[in-house]
Chain A
Amino acid sequence: MNLLENIHSVWNLLGRNKIRSFLTMLGIIIGISSVIIIISVGAGAQSLILNQIKSQGSNLITILPGNSDPKGPPASVIGVEITTLKLENIKKIMNGSFSALIAATGYVKGTDTVTWESEKTDTTFTGVNADLVIVEDTGVATGRFFTEEENNAMAKVAVLGSDVAKNLFAGDNPVGRQIKIKKTMFNIIGVMKVRGNSGFQSQDNQIYVPIITAQKLLLGIDHISNARFKVDTAENVNPAMEYISQIMRQEHNIDNPENDDFSVRSMEQSLSMISTITNVLRFFLAAVASIALVVGGVGIMNVMLAAVQERTREIGLRKAVGAKNKYIISQFLVETSMITFIGGVIGIIMGILVSFLVSVIAKKLGYSWDFVVSIWSIVMACVVSIGIGLIFGIVPAKRASKLDPIEALRYE
């Protein structure tokens, strides 16, 4: 009997026990589809995050306080507050001789419940320089952004993110009104364009205030949490990073780069760092989902052991009419791997459908979400599902082949 005929007869056999065959496959279907969904939706989410970061503008350089490995996350991610980065450092860099740096802004952040008359909303206030609109390639929808003069004068002016404007003023034009942040009244001078999410936080649910105002009046600090520079062309990004590092070392009296108390990153490095983190997350989740495959495999082994018992007489008969042990083994192995393979194919189809649905919904919600199903994940799913069939099928198959034909024929 060749393999094709064996497959054909197993196909008929599975068709005769549709419900049982389906239930047997279920574990594999769930396992394979979860893995496909996680890998695909993970890739979609990753593309979303990366697209949004890219949308913040190109040719950007970030300075973070504290030293860190360019491949790993900075210390601030795990909540360490480092106070060595100052606004003066940024000024020094911008006032230097390096003309490729066209704009820069520092950042400080805080959260508060902001009120306008009786309306309240929980939001983030971000202190920035006036050049934010150049650095982040953005602008106001109505009104205007504050100027560097207002910043230097610690003006109490605010530009609302589009969500904050919606939450507090429900469609009315907020420009010219006053809101209260940390007990200080601010004049609203503008509302930002809709910007979407960046990474894990909304860019629209925040209020921009002059950075010096934020430091002195709202937060009582004199350091900044990070700064960004815009470089004119991509070729100048690396020389600019080198220049920024030099100035920073001069400013902080550091003679050995190993002792840097800051990190300079390009957007490209940030993108690859985020890719690294999200990839680790994706594969970790896929590994968790693949536990379902092992459970499914054990379930199939259980069903096949019962099938050996149930078909004892058939096995005895097959041996009596000349089937060698290897034929019995291959019959059962083909059966289990067919079950897992068919389950795998159904799981792949379901996984693709669900991932597609998620991407459609995400696009409808306005996210730039890519629908990605990689060929290798499908090939892997096929190979893994057949592999599970072979691994978990071998014990029942061996047991079947070891049956004594006389005993098997007598089995009731």
Chain B
Amino acid sequence: MTSIIKVENLTKQYENEGVITEVLFGLNFEIKKGEFVAMMGPSGSGKSTLMHILGFLDKLTTGKYLFEGQDVSELDEDQLAEMRGNKIGFVFQAFNLLPRTTVLENVMMPLVYTKMSKEDRVSRSEKAIESVGLTHRINNLSNQLSGGEKQRVAIARALVNDPSIIFADEPTGNLDSKSGLQVMKILQDLNIKHGHTIILVTHEKYTAEHAERILRMKDGLIVSDEKVATRLMADSVGELK
């Protein structure tokens, strides 16, 4: 399989009023197309910072980051924004939906910044909403949804631009266990049935074991990188409504 992300000696430092804080210390790893990888570690381990760098929200300090073979460390702000729009889908712990806005409008939002026609945007968004089983909620306002439904809308939004990779940052963190399992099932389906590459950021071992590979992080270093021996499948929760 081809490599989608390749990181060599990646470091990240923050400078605040002359005080330098080192967050990531020379990371090396590779993620291949179609993989479902969990980045796991306690808070402060640097996993969120790493996700932000991999998702073009932040820049690395030294080292090399190749995305689909392209060195991204030299891209400017606008080019990074374009990469986020075309290549990346984000799912956040806090859902981050626009309040008092319909499901359709929320899902369509990333496409607003492309040159796609309005009709194409609507049909793409409808398909994405269908794939997370929320067609019956399409015209509801985001604040009328349950937590699980909100996160499914967020997944539809992450899918709608047909990204090369989906970053899910603690996607089940704000959900009850049943809704959490539904979300994990959708992510697994996207990975297994549709071949999407997914990076899941979590501090829970249980959630991480739904992935096929776990990168364990601690104090800005990757301490282990191994296949999940017995991968948990979220099938058992039954079909979605």
Assess whether A321 is in contact with B52, with CB atoms less than 8 Å apart. no
Q: Which residues of A contact B52 (CB under 8 A)?
A: 406
Assess whether B57 is in contact with A318, with CB atoms less than 8 Å apart. no
- Tally chain A residues at the interface, Cβ within 8 Å: 19
Question: What's the dominant secondary structure at chain A's contact region?
Answer: helix
Assess whether B78 is in contact with A409, with CB atoms less than 8 Å apart. no
Highest count of chain A CB atoms <10 Å: which of B84, B100, B114: B84
Which of these binds chain A: B60-68, B85-93, B130-138? B85-93
Assess whether B78 is in contact with A325, with CB atoms less than 8 Å apart. yes
Q: Is A139 interfacial (CB-CB < 8 Å)?
A: no
Q: Which residues of A contact B90 (CB under 8 A)?
A: 320-321
In the bound assembly, the distance between CA atoms of A327 and B109 in angstroms comes to 13
Q: Is B157 interfacial (CB-CB < 8 Å)?
A: yes
Q: Which residues of A contact B29 (CB under 8 A)?
A: none
Interface residues of A in 315-340 (CB under 8 A from B): 316-325, 327
Q: Which residues of B contact A314 (CB under 8 A)?
A: 98
In the bound assembly, the distance between CA atoms of A324 and B112 in angstroms comes to 11
In the bound assembly, the distance between CA atoms of A408 and B77 in angstroms comes to 16
Assess whether B81 is in contact with A409, with CB atoms less than 8 Å apart. no
In the bound assembly, the distance between CA atoms of A323 and B233 in angstroms comes to 35
Contact with A along B88-104 (1 / 0, CB 8 A): 00101000101010000
A52: min CB distance to chain B, Å: 58
Q: Is A5 interfacial (CB-CB < 8 Å)?
A: yes
Q: Which residues of B contact A320 (CB under 8 A)?
A: 55, 57, 84, 90
Q: Which residues of B contact A316 (CB under 8 A)?
A: 96
Q: Which residues of B contact A16 (CB under 8 A)?
A: 100
Question: What's the dominant secondary structure at chain B's contact region?
Answer: helix
Interface residues of B in 22-57 (CB under 8 A from A): 52, 55, 57
Given A320-B57, A320-B90, A321-B157: A327 in contact with B113 (beta carbons within 8 A): yes
Assess whether A324 is in contact with B78, with CB atoms less than 8 Å apart. yes
In the bound assembly, the distance between CA atoms of A321 and B154 in angstroms comes to 11
Q: Which of A1, A405, A406 contacts B113 (CB 8 A)?
A: A1
Assess whether B85 is in contact with A321, with CB atoms less than 8 Å apart. yes
Assess whether B82 is in contact with A324, with CB atoms less than 8 Å apart. yes
Q: Is A228 interfacial (CB-CB < 8 Å)?
A: no
Q: Which residues of B contact A319 (CB under 8 A)?
A: 57, 81, 84
Assess whether A322 is in contact with B96, with CB atoms less than 8 Å apart. no
Residue of A nearest to B79 (CB): A324
Q: Is B220 interfacial (CB-CB < 8 Å)?
A: no
Assess whether A409 is in contact with B92, with CB atoms less than 8 Å apart. yes
Q: Is A109 interfacial (CB-CB < 8 Å)?
A: no
Interface residues of A in 391-412 (CB under 8 A from B): 405-406, 409
Assess whether A322 is in contact with B113, with CB atoms less than 8 Å apart. yes
What 8 pairs between A and B have smallest CB-CB spacing? A322-B85, A321-B110, A324-B81, A1-B112, A317-B96, A322-B113, A322-B84, A324-B78
Given A1-B112, A317-B96, A406-B57, 9 other A-B residues pairs in contact with their CB atoms under 8 A: A318-B113, A321-B85, A321-B161, A322-B84, A322-B85, A323-B85, A324-B81, A324-B113, A327-B113
Interface residues of A (CB under 8 A from B): 1, 5, 16, 313-314, 316-325, 327, 405-406, 409
